[in-house]
Chains A and B, each alone.
Chain A
Amino acid sequence: MSDTPNIGFVRHEPIPPSAPPIQQAGMVKWMRENLFSNWINSILTILSIYFVAKIILASTPWMWNGVWTTSSLRECREVLQGTSGACWSVLAERWNQMLFGFKYPVEAYWRPTLAFVLLLVCIAPILFQKLPRNMLIFSAIYPFLAFWLIWGGTVLTPVVVAVSLIAGYLAFVKIERLTGFATGLLSGVVAVALVLYLGSFVTAALPEFIALEPVASRDMGGFMLNLILGTVCVSLSIPLGIILALGRQSNMPIIKGICVVFIEFIRGVPLITLLFVANVVLSYFFPPGTNLDLILRVIIMITLFSAAYIAEVIRGGLAALPRGQYEAADSLGLDYPQAMRLIILPQALKISIPGIVNVAVGLFKDTTLVSVISMFDLVGMIRGPISSSTAWTGIYWELYLFAILLFFVVCYGISQYSQWLERQLRTDHH
């Protein structure tokens, strides 16, 4: 042991690992594995890159060279002198028409804009459970505030409606304690009607009380109209959808039958035929002499349309609840309205939210169909007044890109939220 051979060098620490071969590391490895793992993948990669490059090369100079300051397409072409370039001037000149329509008073643009911003504030506590709950008070006030801002008129109108709803709710709560759900509901409705009736005298007497300049429904247009139709119809159709879904789940054959027929009928026909109904037929079904304007008739039909789809989503939520929840509610001695209100619906609605949001996105996109019945929403403005004006005849990419951008931002945002929510709601651990 002691006569250790004399060696000149003894290594005391391990050799540092040598770098992997260049083909097995870093960028190259990633590319080999992800882009060129076999010949099909390689071809796909090269084709995709070629395709993307081609689009970028064609569109970038076109977008970048765009002209912003001319007043007609012809001037744009003169400025561009044959080089590729967009004529963004049409957006610079007509952005307000595309957002608000051509009849909404210009000096009142701040009103719908403010209403839109407040919409985000109003909807935030509903969408994100973590926000302070007392923000919901604002959400409850919002519909009345938005109505006042967008349509104008005296502030008393929405206030009266709000007061009547509060009165109705109080009456409902009081009477329900004493006698039960059905009579409670009835007295609630009576209270609402009573306050509305009395309130109508107040509003008629004071039309100028804190009034904004009134704007008629038919003066709404542009992207604002899409947003109004989307939000109003979805919010109105949720209660209706809940009723239809409960009706369809009910074990009373007649009520179930009515709901099934209604839902399947609406889901079986295209929205455009319902819009035709709103446009040319619906007026015949109102009492002679009544005169609802087109936007109201359209809101009625779109609400019915989305209610049928939302009912199906909620039905899915109701069916997904374990049977034990229904039995537990029954065994506590709750009657049907109580069981639904306290046990079933809160859970069913919670799991239906992603589905409802998807319906809402679809519906929001479908609001563009109103352009077919000569309403001037965003698409209607582009197809009608803007493309037919002498200055901008023949322009289309710029306008439709703008429309695509607006819709994409809204719809993508909402659908990302819905996917986030789905992940939040997933309580099992995959």
Chain B
Amino acid sequence: MSSTTQTRASKFSLSMLINDTRYRSTTFQVIALIGLIFAMGYLVSNLLSNLADAGLNISWRFFGETAGYDINQMPIEYNNQMSHGRASLVGAVNTLIVAFLACVSATILGVVAGVLRLSNNWVVSKLMAIYVEAFRNVPVLIWILIIFLVMSNVLPQPREFRGDAAASSMWFDMVAFTNRGVYIPRLVLDDLGWVVFAAFGLSIIGVFAFRRYARNLLFNTGRLIPTFLPSIGILIIPTVLVYFALGSPIGLENPALKGFNFKGGLHLRLSLIALWFALAIYTGAFIAENVRAGIQAISYGQTEAAAALGMRPGRIMSLIILPQALRVIVPPLISQYLNITKNSSLAIAVGYMDITGTLGGITLNQTGRAIECILVLMLFYLVISLSISAIMNVYNNAMKLKER
């Protein structure tokens, strides 16, 4: 203590800035800050002088100007007289659609493949190993392009569905596989259609309530009541009853060949399918590895202990192993979701109109406002990534609390 006091009393010299631990960290930070400001200032000044040389400026007005181009997949209302901002919004929704579809399918695929890879069935586990290694080790862009090219070259053209002796036919008159995408029936809701959905939603809540009740019963009284069939009953019966009671308010609109293309129904475009499948299969391979690692991380003693208690293998997996493995699996799973969202920007390779295709593609080309467009594009992905990371942190914290 006394020596510190002495040092403080001694005269301040410049060398103390670097040699005295009390000042050193401040010195370094100030140097770093100045360096950063200089670097940024240098870059910004270069930008400004380059723009001035080219006679350009930074302006955001183009977001309000008429876009003038059409987008094929419009989840929200859009026409070519609306603004570039609206077109970007359509693209953003399209990004979210393909990312959501791919996340769901990749999870299913990954969990199935990961569990099957650990199966004691030799053929199945080897097949899954081949799937994982083959897809993990080849760029996803190649898979996207291959699925796109194969579908556009192998599937029939819409006009081959024409005529009495058509070369191709629809499945059950409802689904058509063409080289422009897949046409499936669409739900058409009457005025009361929402009631059916509401009933279905209530049924789902009902299933959870029932399961909770059954579990409490088991814990409190030891009575084990069947849950599987009653759950299915609760899920289906009320909805079906409501559906018929209201006189079938939900109909199906089937696609039909009219003119050049199929009309009606829902058109899953080739670009969407290629992107969706490729992302799902590629990321599924990574998720399978995460799932496998998660399951293997649970000590084998857990399985043996559960078996000693007389549990069946399926129950061991669902009640003992998976709940523990989830803690290991979920964090990398969420970062795979992050990767899917970012990789969905490869849409541009197959012409899927996501935000990279609208804002970063046609809008950029038409307005020439490269800096503005790319800045907004990056911010969009950044916001999505940060939100997903935030969810992951919440989950991690929640999981941490339960640890002893």
- Judge A-B direct contact (beta carbons within 8 Å): yes
Contacts of B389 in A (CB 8 A): 264, 268
Write the nearest CB–CB distance from A232 to chain B, whole angstroms: 18
Does B241 lie at the interface of the complex (its beta carbon under 8 Å from any beta carbon of A)?
Answer: no
Contacts of A268 in B (CB 8 A): 381-382, 385-386, 389
Contact B137 A412, beta carbon cutoff 8 Å:
yes
Separation of A1 and B294 alpha carbons in the complex (Å) = 70
Contact A272 B348, beta carbon cutoff 8 Å:
yes
Contact of A252 among B28, B139, B140, B153 (CB under 8 A): B28
Contacts of A415 in B (CB 8 A): 136-137
Contact of A368 among B51, B127, B141 (CB under 8 A): B141
Contacts of A400 in B (CB 8 A): 142, 145-146, 149
Which chain B residues in 48-91 approach chain A with CB under 8 Å? 49-51, 53
Contacts A258-B32, A288-B53, A412-B133; A277 near B348 (Cβ below 8 A): no
Contacts of B140 in A (CB 8 A): 365
Separation of A81 and B74 alpha carbons in the complex (Å) = 45
Contact A254 B386, beta carbon cutoff 8 Å:
no
Contacts of A140 in B (CB 8 A): none
Does B236 lie at the interface of the complex (its beta carbon under 8 Å from any beta carbon of A)?
Answer: no
Contact of B120 among A34, A254, A411 (CB under 8 A): A34
Contact of A270 among B33, B53, B121, B345 (CB under 8 A): B345
Which chain B residues in 356-382 approach chain A with CB under 8 Å? 356, 360, 364, 370-371, 374, 377-378, 381-382
Total contacting residues, chain A, CB less than 8 A: 58
Does A390 lie at the interface of the complex (its beta carbon under 8 Å from any beta carbon of B)?
Answer: no
Contact A255 B28, beta carbon cutoff 8 Å:
yes
Does A33 lie at the interface of the complex (its beta carbon under 8 Å from any beta carbon of B)?
Answer: yes
Separation of A281 and B58 alpha carbons in the complex (Å) = 13
Contact of A284 among B28, B46, B378, B381 (CB under 8 A): B46
Interface of A: prevailing SS: helix
Contact B382 A285, beta carbon cutoff 8 Å:
no
Does A403 lie at the interface of the complex (its beta carbon under 8 Å from any beta carbon of B)?
Answer: yes
Does A287 lie at the interface of the complex (its beta carbon under 8 Å from any beta carbon of B)?
Answer: yes
Does B47 lie at the interface of the complex (its beta carbon under 8 Å from any beta carbon of A)?
Answer: yes
Contacts of B326 in A (CB 8 A): none
Contacts of B356 in A (CB 8 A): 270, 272-273
Bin chain B's interface residue count: 35 or more
Which of A45-53, A105-113, A201-209 interfaces with chain B?
A45-53
Query: Which residue of chain A has its CB nearest to the CB of B30?
Result: A254
Contacts A269-B381, A372-B346; A48 near B139 (Cβ below 8 A): no
Does B36 lie at the interface of the complex (its beta carbon under 8 Å from any beta carbon of A)?
Answer: yes
Which chain A residues in 349-406 approach chain B with CB under 8 Å? 361, 365-366, 368-369, 371-372, 379, 383, 394, 396-397, 400, 403-404
Contacts of B25 in A (CB 8 A): 251-252
Contacts A368-B139, A383-B145, A404-B138; A255 near B46 (Cβ below 8 A): no
Separation of A193 and B19 alpha carbons in the complex (Å) = 27
Write the nearest CB–CB distance from B37 to chain A, whole angstroms: 11
Query: Which residue of chain B has its CB nearest to the CB of A366?
Result: B139
Separation of A405 and B377 alpha carbons in the complex (Å) = 34
Separation of A412 and B343 alpha carbons in the complex (Å) = 21
Separation of A141 and B193 alpha carbons in the complex (Å) = 73
Contacts of B153 in A (CB 8 A): 394, 396
Separation of A397 and B28 alpha carbons in the complex (Å) = 57
Contact of A369 among B29, B33, B346, B364 (CB under 8 A): B346
Interface of B: prevailing SS: helix
Contacts of A383 in B (CB 8 A): 145
Residue among B18, B50, B51, B138 facing the most chain A CB atoms (10 A cut-off): B138
Does B134 lie at the interface of the complex (its beta carbon under 8 Å from any beta carbon of A)?
Answer: yes
Does A127 lie at the interface of the complex (its beta carbon under 8 Å from any beta carbon of B)?
Answer: no
Contacts of B142 in A (CB 8 A): 368, 379, 400, 403-404, 407
Contact of B141 among A283, A285, A287, A379 (CB under 8 A): A379
Chain A 39-67 near chain B by CB (<8 Å), digits 1 or 0: 00100110011011000000000000000
Contact B139 A407, beta carbon cutoff 8 Å:
yes
Contacts of B225 in A (CB 8 A): none
Contacts of B50 in A (CB 8 A): 283-286, 288
Write the nearest CB–CB distance from A41 to chain B, whole angstroms: 5
* 6 smallest beta-carbon distances between A and B, as pairs: A268-B385, A411-B137, A270-B342, A365-B139, A268-B382, A270-B345
Give 24 CB contacts A-B under 8 Å. Answer: A34-B120, A180-B19, A254-B29, A254-B33, A255-B29, A268-B386, A268-B389, A269-B382, A270-B345, A271-B342, A272-B345, A272-B348, A273-B356, A273-B377, A276-B370, A365-B138, A365-B140, A366-B139, A372-B348, A379-B141, A397-B150, A404-B138, A408-B138, A415-B136
7 new A-B contacts at CB < 8 Å, known A258-B32, A407-B142: A48-B127, A255-B28, A270-B345, A270-B381, A273-B345, A284-B50, A404-B138
Residues of chain B whose beta carbon lies under 8 Å from any beta carbon of chain A: 18-19, 25, 28-29, 32-33, 36, 43, 46-47, 49-51, 53, 116, 119-124, 127, 133-134, 136-142, 145-146, 149-150, 153, 342-343, 345-346, 348-349, 356, 360, 364, 370-371, 374, 377-378, 381-382, 385-386, 389
Residues of chain A whose beta carbon lies under 8 Å from any beta carbon of chain B: 33-35, 37, 41, 44-45, 48-49, 51-52, 180, 182, 251-255, 258, 264-265, 267-273, 276-277, 280-281, 283-288, 361, 365-366, 368-369, 371-372, 379, 383, 394, 396-397, 400, 403-404, 407-408, 411-412, 415
